[in-house]
Chain A
C-alpha cells in the first residue's frame, strides 16, 4: 500500500529530534566545525533520547522496541539537517551495536551489547572503507586468514569514526573471498589507529585511518560465528542511512538560502524575484523531496524485511549526486557570502561532497 504520510509515532520521534537539534546543535554547529570538536555533553544529551539502543532487547540494556529503518531514516535526516558531523557522532555506537544485535551469535550479543547499551554514550565503531582510489565496500582489500584458532587481519581502513576512543569496532574483511565482519577490541596488538584525519568536510567529527598488520583475533570474534554474517544487508542499511543524511544536509542548505534569498535585496528587489535564483530554489526544493522519497522507499523495503539492494543503491547514488548539486546551488544563491565561513552553506557544501564518497560511516 503506497502511503506518503508519517504515522503519529514517526511524527513524534521526528519532533523530538528536531527539538534536540534546535536546542544543542543549530547554534553551536559553526563553532564545532571551527574548533573541530563536538562537546561530549551535547552527544550525551542526544544519547539519552535512546535512538541507538531502542531496538536492543531489554535484557541487553536496550528498550526492546521494534526495529524501524524508516524511523531511523527520519532521525538521521533531522540530525544531519542540524549538522552532519554531529549526526554521525551521535549515531556512532549504532555502527557496532546494530550489526551485533542483528547478526551476532547469542554469545556475542551477551558479551558486547550490555557494554554499549548503558546510560552513557560509549564509542564503538565500524571500519569498512579503504583508502585507495576505486575502493569499494563490496570488493575489500583487507583480508582475514584463518590461522589455528585465530583470524589474522591485514589491511588498511580509513574514515573510521571515533576509532581512537572506541572500545570495540567491527572490521570488514574478506575471508576466502567472502565479505565478513570481525569484532576487534580497541587494544588488540597489530592494530594501529593513526592521527585524526583532516578531511574536506566533517571537521568536527573524529575519523581515523586504522591499519591491521598480522592482527590476530580470536575465532569467536567472527560476527555471526562460523556462518558469517549477512554483510550485504549491512551495506544496504548503510547506503540508506547515508541517503537520509544527504537529504538532511541538502534540506539544511535549502532552508537557509530560502530565507536569505527572500531578504537579500539587490537591484532594488529581493533576489528571489529573479528567475535564475527562484528556479534554483525550485529545483532544490523538489530534489530534496525526491531524495527523501527515494530514502523512504528503500527504508520501507528494509522495514518490511525485503531485499533492498536496488532501492538502497539508487537512493545513495541519487542523493550523492543531488546533495552535491543542492549544496552547490546553496553557495551559488548566496554569491560571495556563500563563500565565507560565517554562513553555514560553506560547511554544507564541503559535507555534501561526502554523501557519495563515504561508505559504511552510518547505518540504520
Chain B
C-alpha cells in the first residue's frame, strides 16, 4: 500500500494505521479521518494510473476505521436501558466475531497467494496431440447448435462488472435528504409535535436515521420546525410551526446542485 498519511498522532503507511489502532498504539479518537482521506485523495491525484486495488483496499480500511470510530462515539453510560445495553453488547460480539473471521480469511488469502505464486513457477505441458493422432479426436461439436455458439459469444463479451470499486461496505444510502425533507413536510403538519424516536421508528439503517436528522436540521434552519432537547442524550422533540407556509420547490432547490 503506497498511501502514506500524516496526522498529528501518526505518520506512515495507511494500512499499518489500522493495525496500530487495533493494538491500541494509536488512539482512534485522535486520528482525523479527514486528514486520512485528504492524504489519500492527494495520492490518487499524483498517481499516473488509477490503481483500483489501492482504492479498494483504502475504502475497506477506511470503512473499518469509520465503523470503529462511530462505535466509540456511541453515547453510552448509566442511563442505558438494560435491553439496549444487551443489544449493544450483542452487536459488539457479532462485530468481534466478524473481525476475527475477516482476519482469518485475510491470512488464508495471503497463504493462497503464496501457493499460487509457487505454482506459477511451473508451466504445464499443453502441447497436445501429435499430428498422427489428430484424425482420432472425438467429435467435440456433437450437439452444439448455432444458437449455443451465439450464447457463448454473448457470455464472453458481456461487460465485466468486476472492474468497479465496490462501496457496499459503506452502508448503501437508500434515502436522500431531499426525500426526507419532502416526507417531513407532508407528515409534520398533521402530526404537530413528535419525538425524534417516533419519527425514525421503523428505520433500521443508521444512515436513514442520519438523513432524517439532517432533514430536520434543514427545516429547523428554514424556521418551519422547532427542536428541543431537555437532557443531553435525552429525547429530542420536533414540532411543526403551523403558521409557516412554505413552497416545496423553494426548499428542495437548496439540495440540488
A and B bind: no
Binding site for B on A (CB under 8 A): none
| Contacts from B to A (Cβ < 8 Å) | none
